[in-house]
Structure 1
Amino acid sequence: MTAQNPPVSPTIPPLPATDEPELHESPYTIPNALTMARIFACPFLGYTIVNGNYVWATGILFASGLTDWLDGWLARRYNSRSVLGSILDPAADKALMTTLVGTLAWSGLLPLPLAILIFGRDFGLSMSAFYFRFISLPKPRTLKRYFDPSIPSAEVKPTQISKINTALQLLLMGLTTVSPLIGSSISVPLQALQWTVAGTTIWSGFSYMGRSGVKILKQPGKKIL
């Protein structure tokens, strides 16, 4: 009799590798704390402008500018940049700008059409930021994970014209805030700066068309959307 071949054991496929852990980072950094301080100072700034206390308003505005420079310097000097910081920093600028534009327009120091233009651009950018956060967040996309700052998913990269526009807007708001404290009239240079800011506001808004200014982060083991 011929010997029978021993039965061949079926090949067991290897177990799929587990997904690598998703990106996490600590939001508790000194630059982020300074940025949050700028945001919390906005209501006090608005209160002083509405009540006509331009000396205090100028002081708060100067302190906000100083902390803005300081948190950027610390982030670069000690390599403490974070994705949350890249979102908080422009958010603080927008909170400051919204406060200044709204209260200065309310006080009659800023033309209402210019205020509406600035608000409209910022509203559109805010809505796009919420959208990109949603599509870039790794699943499951829950409300808790959406607002979890330790799960970075998209990084804000301001365009060059947006940086110029922000600087010009801050210059305009600063000069408008201190204008009541200046003895002579500066209405002519203020009007020229207002027209310039209107142009850069429109230009910077169009510069964010598509995904410009937003970097979708690649999660470990995941494909970029």
Structure 2
Amino acid sequence: MLGMRRQSSKSKPVVPSLETARERTKAVREKVRSSLTNLTPRENIYNLPNFLTVTRLIAAPVTAYLVVHDQYTWALALFAYAGFTDLVDGWLARRWKLQTVAGSVMDPMADKALMIILTVTLAVKGAIPLYLATLILGRDASLAIAAIYYRYASLPAPKTFMRYWDFSLPSAEVHPTTVSKYNTLLQLVLIGSTLALPVVAASGQHAGFTQAIGLHNVDLHQMMTYYQWLVAGTTAWSGLSYAFLKDAVTILGSNEELKAKQGARGRAIIGVTFGSVVAAAIWVGFTVDEKRESNAKEEVAESSR
């Protein structure tokens, strides 16, 4: 009897300890489930549209290399390939529902890589004025600085270096403004026509080309100057539009107050940085470019003597 009493007295604490263990296990299970549901979903970024976008990224430095070595025909052909694949990968993504946030980031990145590299190359070779190159490059630099801020501010915790560069983790979406879309097209036409101008001039069809499009006694170089002014205006307008339009960038998340603060800070970054770029471009146009143009005219005059 005494042994049985001792056993029963020892077994009584087991029941509350089991209940406590069950409750702790249940609590841990609920925490794990809630953490799993809060994880940022990943996207399948390995598809044909994204592959074509990557090839456009590779084509940018190759095209610049051809321009440096005065291989304008091949450079123009590769530039045309980049423009064609830009249309194709967008159509494929929409047709087969292959849109990804990574693709929405890489697609304009490929366009800008092509524009930046060729703008620098053509400006160094004197094919486009420095003020225009300052505007184009400064706009992209301003938007890039803002994009760095947007990415870091909107990235879900933990904000690690690896997660920052993992574009399968969406945090913000960029919606190009209407004027930005037109400006991108005008810039691409500018680069394409600048590459085509030496090819047309070398073929000896300069006058025939202007007459074919209904223009007589018009210099193609003068036409390019007018077009450069148009691109400069739309570039300035495009950059400033990101500083004023609130729906240009959509920050993902549920904290609306925090998203509003992040958006205002990002637009302020664009306004300050790109406003400085516009001022610098005006100064370059009235000083450096004018001196450059006068020196070119003097060289032409001396060579004609």
Instruction: Give yes or no for contact 2:43–2:169 (8 Å, CA) kept in 1.
Output: yes
Instruction: Give yes or no for contact 2:163–2:169 (8 Å, CA) kept in 1.
Output: yes
The equivalent residue for 1:123 is 141
Identity of aligned residues (%): 45
Instruction: Give yes or no for contact 2:101–2:168 (8 Å, CA) kept in 1.
Output: no
Is 2:163 the counterpart of 1:145? yes
SS in 2 for 1:26: coil
Task: Report the TM-score when normalising by structure 2.
Answer: 0.66
> Could you tell me how far apart the structure 1 residues matched to 2:235 and 2:247 are?
16
Alignment of 1:143-222 (within 5 A): 143-182=161-200, 183-184=205-206, 185-209=219-243, 211-218=246-253, 222=254
Instruction: Give yes or no for contact 1:134–1:146 (8 Å, CA) kept in 2.
Output: yes
> Could you tell me how far apart the structure 1 residues matched to 2:40 and 2:70 are?
50
SS in 1 for 2:173: strand
Task: Report the TM-score when normalising by structure 1.
Answer: 0.89
RMSD: 1.8
Moved over 4 A (4+): 14-17
SS in 1 for 2:170: coil
Alignment of 1:13-162 (within 5 A): 15=27, 18-19=34-35, 20=37, 21-162=39-180
SS in 2 for 1:155: strand
SS in 2 for 1:66: helix
The equivalent residue for 2:265 is none
**Could you tell me which amino acid in structure 2 is paired with residue 39 of structure 1?**
L
**Could you tell me which amino acid in structure 1 is paired with residue 150 of structure 2?**
F
**Could you tell me which amino acid in structure 2 is paired with residue 165 of structure 1?**
N
**Could you tell me which amino acid in structure 2 is paired with residue 64 of structure 1?**
A
Shift of 1:127: 0.5
User: Structure 2: any 5+ residue segments left out of the alignment?
Assistant: 1-22, 207-218, 260-305
Larger relative CO (CA 8 A, sep 6+): 1 or 2? 1
User: Structure 1: any 5+ residue segments left out of the alignment?
Assistant: 1-11
> Could you tell me how far apart the structure 1 residues matched to 2:199 and 2:193 are?
10
> Could you tell me how far apart the structure 2 residues matched to 1:114 and 1:198 are?
6
SS in 1 for 2:79: helix
Shift of 1:70: 0.7
**Could you tell me which amino acid in structure 2 is paired with residue 55 of structure 1?**
T
| Equivalent residues, number | 211
Q: Which structure's CA Rg is the greater one?
A: 2
SS in 2 for 1:208: helix
Instruction: Give yes or no for contact 1:50–1:106 (8 Å, CA) kept in 2.
Output: no
Shift of 1:188: 2.0
> Could you tell me how far apart the structure 1 residues matched to 2:198 and 2:99 are?
38
The equivalent residue for 2:11 is none
